[in-house]
């Protein structure tokens, strides 16, 4: 049976040092690890970009190029992440990120990595789709819950909280047991500004295998509780939450990805662990 071809055929590959965007057939460069490419929300997004780890000639980016692509607001990327080649991964080059601090002697050093990714043209989108795959080694051991990339709108959020009431964030968090939770943060959510969206046991990161997550956010119309969040795990929809309100007016939209990977907590209180490392594929992000 022929593989299903996604509408992300028009995906754009972005990389530091690349003189021009390169249009690529999506299936031609993507998830070779699977017999069938998992298809969730990305199937419905014609405009999509990839936070690339290699240039147009197929060579891996240098860490300086990677830092330049992440932007001036990046934290911990140079200290806690590196590009590695993995034959059994969905893509040939992935990021390996340590979730704690590279410098265990400095309690104020950056934990994991964090940077906002604002692709050109995505400003104030009504809906967005984000996709990446994650690998936890067999001996993975993180003593605290941790974050994975999520979407945001408005001012750049920090590692775990909003920095302003004029925006929102849709965080991806997983517990010590591997259960994935989606955390919606916005002054429009509730009095506490936080809503946990989860299905315990249904969305789990398993050790020793690649797991693909796709998340879709559709923002509410101003003043209406008609927003929704969908999550796919390896192409199977595992979460569908409707009736959400993350914004009060149309001036706030989806601006990009908060690329946060790391343990949750104050830097000085996060223990170091040589077994708290994950691998993550380049992030795909579509919007409309």
Question: What is the token pair recorded at 279?
Answer: 């691998």
pLDDT for res 201: 79
pLDDT for res 37: 55
**What is the distance between the alpha carbons of residues 175 and 255, in angstroms, rounded to a whole number?**
27
The whole-model pTM stands at 0.87
Enumerate residues 6+ apart whose C-beta is below 8 A from 6: 26, 27, 37, 39, 42, 43
Q: Which residue has the tokens 């990046």?
A: 74
pLDDT for res 4: 39
Across the chain, which has 288 residues, the per-10-residue mean pLDDT values are 38 42 35 54 92 93 96 95 94 95 82 95 93 95 93 94 93 88 93 88 89 96 94 94 94 96 87 91 96
Closest CA to 253 of 191, 162, 166: 166
pLDDT for res 104: 76
* Ramachandran assignment for 224, one of left (phi > 0), alpha (psi -120 to 50 degrees), beta (any other): beta
pLDDT for res 13: 52
Closest CA to 197 of 226, 165, 231: 231
């Amino acid at each position: 049976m022929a593989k299903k071809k996604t509408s992300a055929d028009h995906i754009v590959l972005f990389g530091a040092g690349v003189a021009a965007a390169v249009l690529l057939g999506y299936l031609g460069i993507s998830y070779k690890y699977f017999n069938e490419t998992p298809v969730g929300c990305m199937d419905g997004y014609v405009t999509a970009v990839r936070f690339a780890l290699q240039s147009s000639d197929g060579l891996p980016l240098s860490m300086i190029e990677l830092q330049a692509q992440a932007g001036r607001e990046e934290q911990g990327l140079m200290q806690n992440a590196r590009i590695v080649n993995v034959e059994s991964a969905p893509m040939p080059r992935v990021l390996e990120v340590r979730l704690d601090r590279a410098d265990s002697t400095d309690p104020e050093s950056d934990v994991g990595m964090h940077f906002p990714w604002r692709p050109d043209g995505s400003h104030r989108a009504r809906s967005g789709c984000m996709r990446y795959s994650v690998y936890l080694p067999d001996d993975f051991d993180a003593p605290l819950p941790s974050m994975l990339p999520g979407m945001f709108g408005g001012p750049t959020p920090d590692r775990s909280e909003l920095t302003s009431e004029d925006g929102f964030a849709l965080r991806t968090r997983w517990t010590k047991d591997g259960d994935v939770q989606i955390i919606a943060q916005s002054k429009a959510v509730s009095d506490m500004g936080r809503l946990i969206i989860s299905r315990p046991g249904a969305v789990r990161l398993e050790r020793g295998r690649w797991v693909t997550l796709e998340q879709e956010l559709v923002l509410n119309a101003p003043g209406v509780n008609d927003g929704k969040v969908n999550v796919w795990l390896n192409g199977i929809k595992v979460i569908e939450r409707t009736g959400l309100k993350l914004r009060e007016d149309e001036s706030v939209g989806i601006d990009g990805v908060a690329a946060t990977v790391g343990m949750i907590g104050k830097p000085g209180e996060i223990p170091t662990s040589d077994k708290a490392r994950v691998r993550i594929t380049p992030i795909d992000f579509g919007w409309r």
